[in-house]
Structure 1
Amino acid sequence: MKFLSRALTRSTALVLAVTLVACASNEEKEDTDPVDLVDINPTVELREVWSENIGDIDSKRYAMLLPGIGDGKIVAASSDGEVLALDRATGRQQWEVELEVPLSGGVGVGLGLAVVSDYRGNVVALDLNNGSELWRYQLSSEVVAAPAVGAGVVVLQTVDGKLVALDAAEGTERWSHSTTLPVLTLRGNAAPVITAGAVFAGLDNGKIIVLDARDGIPRWEQRVAIPQGSAELERVVDIDGSPVVRGELVFAASYQGRLVALSRDDGRGLWARDASTNHSVAAGAGNIYLSDAGGSVYAYNVSDGQIVWSNDDLLRRNLSGPAYFGDVLVVGDLEGYLHAMDPGTGEIIGRRKIDGDALRIPMVVDGDLLFALSDGGELVALRLERR
């Protein structure tokens, strides 16, 4: 796990992280390797509909170039600055733009826009129809998560602790909100979510905040995780996965913290369970699903948070966040495999190798298609079929 320090030098933070890993591995060296995949009896198939290589994703800088979907297109970006719009159903290219800057923040799509950002905090809005540039805006710091587009604004979270809303039509700043950052945080940010006229955002300090999309006035703020321990590494409680809003509930999880269910209206806590993840959770079939930092996958009952099942067959395989697709749960791993799991039992019931590179970028579900993007830049559209 990589850390980025706000008060220490990056090299000092890296030494701390390496020391922590070394201490943990000295006594049980045999337990540091990813587990081997076991044979399965597949009952479902993730069938490839189309694929396209969009260019490499810079995994060393932990770029999370999440594709965006809208108006029948999927828009994806590479770390080299190439942005492509493809027909979601066929993969046929609609347009291509070379921005010639190293992109860091994934693609936000909506309101006729496709929005990307780079490591210097430069935001670029493209016309979703033809890829022409509409406006640019300079933020105070880099963006490593996809922006949210909706309610007339584009909302981005920067690594220096700001949420900034830009006017979707003009690219001018509407409002901003600043948060005091902890000494150490994970390398990454949660992508904001816009729904019902509000912006939902997970913060590096372990809190969820909800702001009015029009003016940025806070509606409520709730702590998901409380820092524990005396060492700064022990106190890291980032929320790097996007909040999941389902009906009247909000679900979110933190690193070294908890999984919580909150009231969408006022942030009141309904239940909480100890958990650790730097990914978003998924919802479906009456459960909330989480892949933890060690490679275990859990299902929690939506109503009370009780664990329904857990699966340890993929330990230390650096799993992606889960995606609920059709009527199965899907996770990706460090060797480019997608694993389909029964949402009722946790049994692995399907598997497909997408690429030789890791699948860590969040998957996108749109109707009957699942989209997965590897670090090697292989973008694949898949359809679920029963055997």
Structure 2
Amino acid sequence: MNFLSRNTARMAAVALAATLGACASNDDKEDTDPVELVDIEPSVELREVWSENIGDIDARLYAMLQPGIAAGRIVAANSEGDVVAFERSSGKRLWETELDVEISGGVGVGQGLAVVADYRGRVEALDLDTGEEVWSHQLSSEVVAAPAVGSGRVVVQTVDGKLIGLDASSGEERWSHSTTLPVLTLRGTAAPVMSAGVVYAGLDNGKMVALDATDGIPRWDQRVAVPQGSAELDRVVDIDGSPVVRGDLVFAASYQGRAVALSREDGRGLWARDASTHHSVAVGAGNVYLSDAGGSVYAYNVGNGQIVWNNDDLLRRQLSGPAYFGDVLVVGDLEGYLHVLDPASGKIVGREEIDSDPVRIPLLADGDLLFALSDDGELVALRLERG
């Protein structure tokens, strides 16, 4: 079944046009094909610990069904409505719940819940221990990003520009924050992030907001990207990657805009650099890392934003957002490869193929394990080993 609204179909078309624009400067075939991989001499290995197939992820509707991790388990969902919990370290299947929905946003975990949402805007909260339904709530519009769970709230971002705080116990709506959307946006929204009772969210108008998780009262809002150009397509500046909170700073990046470091307290900008990405950034080893819309990977100094290095070996390979894992950087690509980069130099020092389908859903680094989920639903846990 297809639940696309006219607005959703428009956003999907814009996403396709934007991606094509990012992948090529002209019509020559050599400029549109992904760069071929070259042999490397690996110094590290991503060794598979366990893997399970959870079912297909709907790439046609750009579902970014990132799993959630809490209480020693990882919870993942497919587009057909199946939610599955595994023991984090062994991959033992703990429970599986079949929902009669097409899941599009999930999985948020916390407060003893695993929360997902669908294209019709229905939010489903399951018991994290058993998978039994705790509550459900109908929103005004579809949800295509994972909810944030904490501080007694489930916070959901909808594609019509709203952030909504639901009571974690009952699902009742406690507050709502609305934003005026641009004429055109990319398909997708950033998943909100909750930290110390504050919700941080990137918006389709190129702004970031910080809201009190309990009552939704704004703490601050800050512009990350300024629309440029006369054509509406040129003025698309969505923030589709989740903010990253580290210490006193919040990091974010937009499409056709900038990467920024902002004060967690008041949103004041520490630095900003031109950038274009659909993904979240990663932070580690004194750098902020970004995979851009064309397939280049950048490292910026965390203190001043100066470029430390950039790697163009993976151009047009439709990279996932980067994950800082252990002491390396990892990105996925359209052919199911995970590429391991040295954070100090940007050199590719390892590679692992986990599937033949794309790995575009955000990677999850959790302690000694890295979790990757491909479009055909292959969920893989990996451990870093040095040669």
TM-score range, shorter chain: over 0.9
8 Å CA contact 1:6–1:182 kept in 2: the answer is: no
Match of 2:193 in 1: 193
How far off is 1:29 after superposition? Answer: 2.9
How far off is 1:6 after superposition? Answer: 8.0
Match of 2:340 in 1: 340
Q: Is 1:315 aligned with 2:305? A: no
8 Å CA contact 2:73–2:87 kept in 1: the answer is: yes
Match of 2:111 in 1: 111
Cα root mean square deviation, aligned: 2.0
Q: Is 1:70 aligned with 2:64? A: no
How far off is 1:24 after superposition? Answer: 5.2
Give the total of aligned pairs. Answer: 384
Q: Deviations over 1:12-56 (max 9, x none)?
A: 955992897499565433111000001111000000000000000
Separation of aligned partners in 2, 1:67 and 1:338: 17
TM-score by length of 2: 0.96
Q: Amino acid of the residue matched to residue 65 of structure 1?
A: L
8 Å CA contact 2:87–2:94 kept in 1: the answer is: yes
Separation of aligned partners in 1, 2:11 and 2:281: 31
Tell me the SS of whatever aligns to 1:10. helix
Match of 1:93 in 2: 93
Q: Deviations over 1:53-110 (max 9, x none)?
A: 0000000000010100111110000001001000000000000001021100010000
Runs of 4+ deviating beyond 2 Å: 4-29
Match of 2:271 in 1: 271
Match of 1:52 in 2: 52
Q: Deviations over 1:156-215 (max 9, x none)?
A: 000000000100011100101000000000100000000011000000000000000110
8 Å CA contact 1:5–1:184 kept in 2: the answer is: no
8 Å CA contact 1:6–1:184 kept in 2: the answer is: no
8 Å CA contact 2:11–2:187 kept in 1: the answer is: no
8 Å CA contact 1:5–1:183 kept in 2: the answer is: no
Separation of aligned partners in 2, 1:385 and 1:267: 39
Separation of aligned partners in 2, 1:53 and 1:15: 28
Match of 1:166 in 2: 166
Separation of aligned partners in 1, 2:90 and 2:291: 31
- 1:165-184 matched pairs, under 5 angstroms: 165-184=165-184
Separation of aligned partners in 1, 2:341 and 2:171: 42
How far off is 1:372 after superposition? Answer: 0.2
Match of 2:120 in 1: 120
Separation of aligned partners in 2, 1:177 and 1:59: 29
Tell me the SS of whatever aligns to 2:160. coil
Tell me the SS of whatever aligns to 2:47. strand
Tell me the SS of whatever aligns to 2:30. helix
8 Å CA contact 2:23–2:32 kept in 1: the answer is: no
Q: Is 1:381 aligned with 2:381? A: yes
CA spacing shift, 1:220–1:313, aligned 2, 3 Å:
same
The more displaced of 47-56 and 28-37 is 28-37
The unaligned stretches of length 5 or more in structure 1 are none
Tell me the SS of whatever aligns to 1:61. coil
Match of 2:249 in 1: 249
8 Å CA contact 2:19–2:293 kept in 1: the answer is: no
Q: Deviations over 1:88-137 (max 9, x none)?
A: 00000000001021100010000100001110000000000000000000
Separation of aligned partners in 1, 2:345 and 2:20: 34
Match of 1:368 in 2: 368
8 Å CA contact 1:143–1:157 kept in 2: the answer is: yes
Tell me the SS of whatever aligns to 2:309. strand
Separation of aligned partners in 2, 1:54 and 1:372: 12
Using the aligned pairs only, state the percent identity. Answer: 76
Tell me the SS of whatever aligns to 1:30. helix
Q: Amino acid of the residue matched to residue 127 of structure 2?
A: D
